[in-house]
Amino acid sequence: MTAVSSWVRDSPSAFAFPMILTLHTIGMGIVAGLNAAIALRVLGFAPSVPLSEAERVFPALWFGFWLNAITGVFLLLGYPTKALTNPMFYTKLALVALGLVAQTRIRRRVIPASATNSVPWRGKLIAAASLVCWASAITTGRLLAYTYTKLTTI
């Protein structure tokens, strides 16, 4: 693992750290963006889009998630102390988990329950919670760079 760690941290190639970060950003755009689009639809915007078709979006969502999980692991391998000693990191992971719970609830409960395209109020609550979760996950992720206390040694 130390070899991977050094590669992430020290490689001068643009395809190492910079590319990992860029892919992580794109994955973030996919997961948070698509979840935002679904949440906005559940909340009632663009009502002529059939809600049942939102099912087509979930494979893309999971692609984005796994892209970020994998790039995230590489980032963690590069700077483990920096992340694991930062409470903000655990907050971010918790928010991502909550966001995924909201995403799954929308897929399994809210969308099937919206038979005639009208969404029960509980569904709208979950959609609003989804928006808050993903926006907060983005923010905590960004704040990681500003809140860490230790870089490489404990």
One of 34, 83, 96, 111 touching other proteins (CB under 8 A): 34
Residue from the set 29, 80, 87, 112 that interacts with other proteins by CB under 8 A: 29
What character string, x for contact with other proteins (CB under 8 A) and - otherwise, covers 50-89?
Answer: x--x--xx--------------------------------
- Per the document, the length of the chain is 154
Residue of 122, 98, 106, 91 whose CA lies nearest to 37: 106
Report DSSP state, residue 52: G
SS3 111: helix
Asked whether position 45 contacts other proteins by CB under 8 A, the answer is yes
For the chain, helix (H) and strand (E) counts, in that order, are 7, 0
Give the nearest distance from C-beta 146 to other proteins in angstroms: 5
Say if residues 65 and 100 touch (Cβ distance below 8 Å): yes
3 near other proteins, judged by CB under 8 A: no
Is there a contact between 8 and 17 (Cβ–Cβ < 8 Å)? yes
Residues that bind other proteins in the complex, under the rule CB under 8 A: 14, 18, 21-22, 25-26, 28-30, 32-37, 40-41, 45-50, 53, 56-57, 134-135, 138-139, 141-143, 145-146
